[in-house]
Amino acid sequence: MIPELIIALSVGAALFGVGLYGALSQTNLVMIIMGVELILAAALVNLVAFWRYLYPDVPAAQMFVLIVMAVMAVEMAVGFGIAIARFRSRGSVEMEEARELKG
């Protein structure tokens, strides 16, 4: 087993844990989005690490990472768009107060 890969994966796992904790513990929408971003970042770290240490001759993995980054950007835009709209209409982005999606 390659020691660098283990380290990289450990970093990824730490990032994922922090992101998950942030997404679940925070009540502010902006902070939740941040957590989600961290989770995605952890996934990217893992992808890059697998590509770099196991299949360095396959360029398709790099393309996959790039596409995920683009998706992250789009998701960010949508998430913050919702946050701004919420703030404009209610003056707050506290998610404890937002239960309109309740079934």
Subset of 23-52 contacting another protein (CB under 8 A): 23-27, 29, 32
The region of 4-12, 44-52, 67-75, 92-100 touching another protein under the rule CB under 8 A is: 92-100
Is 103 a binding residue for another protein by CB under 8 A? The answer is: yes
Is 5 a binding residue for another protein by CB under 8 A? The answer is: no
With DSSP H G I counted as helix, E B as strand and the rest as coil, what are the percentages for the chain, rounded to 5? Answer: 80, 0, 15
Residue 99 beta carbon to another protein: minimum distance, rounded to whole angstroms: 3
Q: Does residue 46 sit in helix, strand or coil?
A: helix
Is 68 a binding residue for another protein by CB under 8 A? The answer is: no
Nearest C-alpha neighbor of 79 from the set 96, 97, 95: 95
Is 91 a binding residue for another protein by CB under 8 A? The answer is: no
Residue 25 beta carbon to another protein: minimum distance, rounded to whole angstroms: 8
- Residues at the site binding another protein, with contacts judged by CB under 8 A: 20, 23-27, 29, 32, 95-96, 98-103
